[in-house]
């Protein structure tokens, strides 16, 4: 792993670098859900080069898919927590849909 960029805070390994890139992309998605972030925006946020991002993700689409996939577990955990006290299946479906709508 190269020792340049990252705003002076180098990741400890490739897994941490990958996670930082995903977190930056998800942060941009959260801030502007109406449009997908570009590689250039992720690069700017992290103070890295485009080459660094492409080292971990082959395309913008690959980065976006990984960003959304990375957030799925957190979202599902939120639904599970929200529905923990609901015992009626019909209520659980309605509450699950309402929770999903609120999150979107």
Mean pLDDT of the chain: 92
Tell me the per-residue pLDDT of 52-91, one tens digit each, with 9 for 90 and over.
999 999 999 999 999 888 888 888 999 999 999 999 999 9
Measure the CA–CA gap between 76 and 70, rounded to whole angstroms.
11
Tell me the per-residue pLDDT of 47-62, one tens digit each, with 9 for 90 and over.
999 999 999 999 999 9
Estimate to the nearest angstrom the gap between the alpha carbon of 16 and the chain centroid.
14
| Per-residue pLDDT band at 94 (split at 50, 70, 90) | very high
Q: How buried is residue 87: exposed, middle or buried, by Cβ count under 10 Å (0-12/13-18/19+)?
A: exposed
């Amino acid at each position: 792993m190269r020792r340049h960029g990252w705003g002076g805070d180098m990741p400890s390994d490739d897994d941490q670098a990958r996670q930082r890139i995903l977190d930056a992309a998800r942060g941009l998605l959260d801030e502007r859900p109406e449009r997908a972030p570009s590689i250039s925006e992720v690069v700017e946020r992290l103070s890295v080069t485009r080459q660094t991002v492409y080292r971990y993700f082959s395309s913008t689409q690959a980065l976006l898919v990984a960003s959304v996939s990375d957030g799925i577990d957190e979202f599902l955990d939120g639904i599970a927590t929200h529905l923990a006290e609901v015992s009626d299946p019909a209520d659980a479906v309605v509450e699950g849909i309402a929770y999903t709508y609120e999150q979107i």
